[in-house]
């Protein structure tokens, strides 16, 4: 479950950086976004290997939604 949580955090932070990049016009947020999305993908691949696709995907989606909402409205 740790890989799912870590992947969800990486995807949520990458999504926040996407917003802060203001249409991909600021280099640092764009680079951070790319790095976090790649890291999230790798962590999700590890989670699927350990937990199975159905569990990792559903739990990951819920955690990403909560993470994005907390960054956006928090």
What lies within 8 Å, CB to CB, of 69 at 6+ separation is none
Which domain does 13 fall in, by range?
A: 2-73
**Count of the separate structural domains present in the chain:** 1
Give the dihedral sign, CA 26/28/31/36.
negative
**pLDDT tens by residue, 21-73:** 888 888 888 999 999 999 999 998 898 888 777 877 788 888 878 877 776 67
pTM (2 decimals)? Answer: 0.77
How far is Cα 67 from Cα 22, in angstroms, rounded to an integer?
20
User: Which tokens go with 14?
Assistant: 């990458």
The answer to whether 41 and 60 are in contact (CB under 8 A) is no
């Amino acid at each position: 479950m740790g890989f799912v949580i870590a992947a969800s955090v990486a995807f949520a932070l990458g999504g926040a950086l996407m917003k802060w990049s203001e249409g991909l016009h600021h280099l640092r947020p764009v680079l951070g976004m790319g790095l976090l999305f790649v890291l999230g993908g790798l962590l999700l691949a590890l989670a699927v290997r350990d937990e199975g696709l159905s569990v990792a995907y559903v739990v990951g989606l819920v955690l990403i939604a909560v993470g994005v909402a907390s960054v956006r409205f928090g």
